[in-house]
A and B are shown apart, each in its own frame.
Chain A
Amino acid sequence: MSYSTACVVGVVGALVLDLVVLRTRLVTRRAFWTSYAICLLFQLLVNGMLTGRRLVTYSPETIVGTRLVYAPVEDIAFGFSLVLQTLSWWVWWGRRARQARTRAGTATEARRAVPTRTR
């Protein structure tokens, strides 16, 4: 599988994680796209340094050849997948913790309610 193909898989995989598996639906949120835009800006800077100074080099057969700030255009998809997967897990764990707290709260209220009813 070429890097180009792997990137398509990476983006689709991240979307499936966000929309179907964890159901965090970040791609429908303005907060996500704003955060991603900021990350993308810094990615171009950081990745531009790593590829421009040739710390990382790519085999020509594995990329389409279009470059953006020294780096193969595929890196944009790679970065998108990385950011979306990360934020999706972060939000999912936050939602889980909140739901656990809500359940615990409801359970406490239910326990409190029992003696009142039996009395």
Chain B
Amino acid sequence: MLYLLVLLACVLVTLPLELVLGVRVYRRPLRLLLTLLPVFAVFVGWDALAIHAGQWSYHRLTGVRLGNVPVEELLFFLVIPTCAVLTLEAVRRTRPTWRIDDDGDEP
């Protein structure tokens, strides 16, 4: 349960970036989904291989798994990348002169 609470905290702590600072990450759901998909595939694959090889193991989780990957880890690879995107957009919002390749983007 602690793992899920930590993930929930990550979502809640970054929520003001969307709601107060107005970074428009959740409001661009297609772009967010297309970003999460390849990252999710790569890292869940890595996780599954590492678990299979016995490189790491999990304790005191809910026990719900997809294959050998705990549901907490599946959520981790959705929540943390989303937090990273929120962070980048917040940095850009507060430092508009710091250019990135997709400047002037909207959807």
**A residues near B, CB below 8 A?**
2-3, 6, 10, 23-26, 29-32, 34-35, 38-39, 42, 46, 49-50, 53-59, 62, 82-83, 85-87, 89-95, 97-98, 101
Contacts and interface: CB of A to CB of B under 8 A. Distances in A.
Contacts of B56: 3, 56-59, 62
Given A25-B101, A86-B39, 11 more contacts: A3-B50, A46-B6, A50-B6, A57-B56, A58-B55, A82-B39, A82-B81, A87-B85, A87-B88, A89-B35, A93-B34
Interface of B: 2-3, 6, 10, 31-32, 34-36, 38-39, 42-43, 46, 50, 53-61, 77, 80-81, 83-85, 87-88, 91-92, 95, 98-102, 104-107
| Chain B interface, DSSP helix/strand/loop, else mixed | helix
| Chain A interface, DSSP helix/strand/loop, else mixed | helix
Given A32-B100, A58-B56, A86-B84, A95 B105 contact: yes
